[in-house]
Amino acid sequence: MRINVDKRSSTKSGAKTQAKQAPSKFPFAVELSDAATVDDLKAAIAAQTKTLNPDRQRLTSGEKKTVLECSNTLAKYGIKDGDTVHVKDLGPQIGWQTVFYIEYFGPIIFHYLIYNFQHIFYGQTFEHSAVQQRVYMLIMGHFIKRELETAFVHRFSHGTMPLFNVFKNSAHYHVLSGLNLAYWIYSPASAEGTGLAAKLSNPLLLAIFSGVFLLAEMSNLIVHIKLRNLRPPGTRVRRIPRGFGFNLVSFPNYFSEIIAWVAIAGMTRSLAAALFLVVATVQMYFWAIKKHRQYRREFPDYPKARKAIFPFII
């Protein structure tokens, strides 16, 4: 069948700028089989334009501007011979896996440098207290775990994101859980020999908070592995997750992440830790609500009693 391809028209200045940057060979037509998928159409557009690779394309059809999702057939969207599909250039892209590596590497570097090079950041050297030593090990372990999960566990439903978004995404981790958190929790104010260190380094409290953190981290890993097993390699298949926390909430990985940072905040009693906890919780709350609604729309048999992120609450 013959599909017409044109640039997406818009009155918004931002969209006009994107359109000007896109290849100027529009409109044109491509020939596809009747069973063609959105991926096939994107490949044909890339071949025609030479520079607009599939990751940069956002395809829409019809008056409602329905977004065409990869792997679906064109027939699923009612697209037939002679119809027109509009394409928008999303600009330079970066792989989600690369984004994750960048996001989590920042805190590792900041915590390592600030913990080990005190004279540079504080102008003095001192002995770290028991709570500082414990928190350092837990936080470094957390972000190393995230890097390893990115390499060996996660399967991404979206291949890329706009390149410039990486700076916005990374700021959350690099600044709040990296630079700001590390600077305050490893400071001389809670170093060995201070009154604050004596209060925070209570062995029983350290054991309790450490245990909560490790249980949350283990739960988080188990959930990520279960999510991985739901999606066959090289696909964007989505299924209803079940078992181990999923019977209570749609995103037990977010819930366990929050619990882990509650433990860090409780262990350090630091405003910097509390700030990161609040910001991260709010962000994960909005992610969970949005994705929870997507699950309900996509799966008619999705468990009605299941909450989004907090068991029995929301």
What are phi and psi for residue 15, nearest 5 degrees? -70, -35
Instruction: State whether 136 and 69 are in the same domain.
Output: no
The overall average pLDDT reported for the chain is: 92
Within 10 A of 95 (CB to CB), how many other CB atoms are there? 14
In a domain, 248, yes or no: yes
Per-residue pLDDT band for 71 (boundaries 50, 70, 90) equals confident
Rounded mean pLDDT, 89-105: 94
Within 10 A of 249 (CB to CB), how many other CB atoms are there? 22
Instruction: State whether 7 and 98 are in the same domain.
Output: no
Query: Cα–Cα distance between 56 and 159 in angstroms, integer?
Result: 11
Across the chain, which distance is largest between two alpha carbons, in Å? Answer: 78
pLDDT in tens, 132-187: 999 999 999 999 999 999 999 998 877 788 898 899 889 989 999 999 999 999 99
pLDDT in tens, 215-247: 999 999 999 999 999 988 877 788 999 999 999
- Domain region containing 6: 2-91
Within 10 A of 16 (CB to CB), how many other CB atoms are there? 12
DSSP 77: G
Instruction: State whether 242 and 264 are in the same domain.
Output: yes
Domain of 39: which CATH number? 3.10.20.90
Domain boundary among 91, 111, 127: 91
Range 204-227 burial, b when 16+ CB lie within 10 A, else e: eebeebbebbeebbebbbbbbebb
Contacts of 20 (CB under 8 A, 6+ apart): none
Q: From the centroid of its chain, how far is CA 142? A: 15
Query: Cα–Cα distance between 90 and 251 in angstroms, integer?
Result: 29
Hey, which bits of 151-267 come out as E strands?
160-162
Instruction: State whether 216 and 288 are in the same domain.
Output: yes
Report whether 206 contacts 256 (CB < 8 A). no
In a domain, 70, yes or no: yes
Instruction: State whether 148 and 287 are in the same domain.
Output: yes
Amino acid 24: pLDDT: 58
pLDDT in tens, 260-292: 999 999 999 999 999 999 999 999 999 999 999
Within 10 A of 197 (CB to CB), how many other CB atoms are there? 19
Domain boundary among 72, 91, 110: 91
Rounded mean pLDDT, 101-130: 98
What is the end-to-end Cα distance of the chain in Å, rounded? Answer: 47
Instruction: State whether 38 and 114 are in the same domain.
Output: no
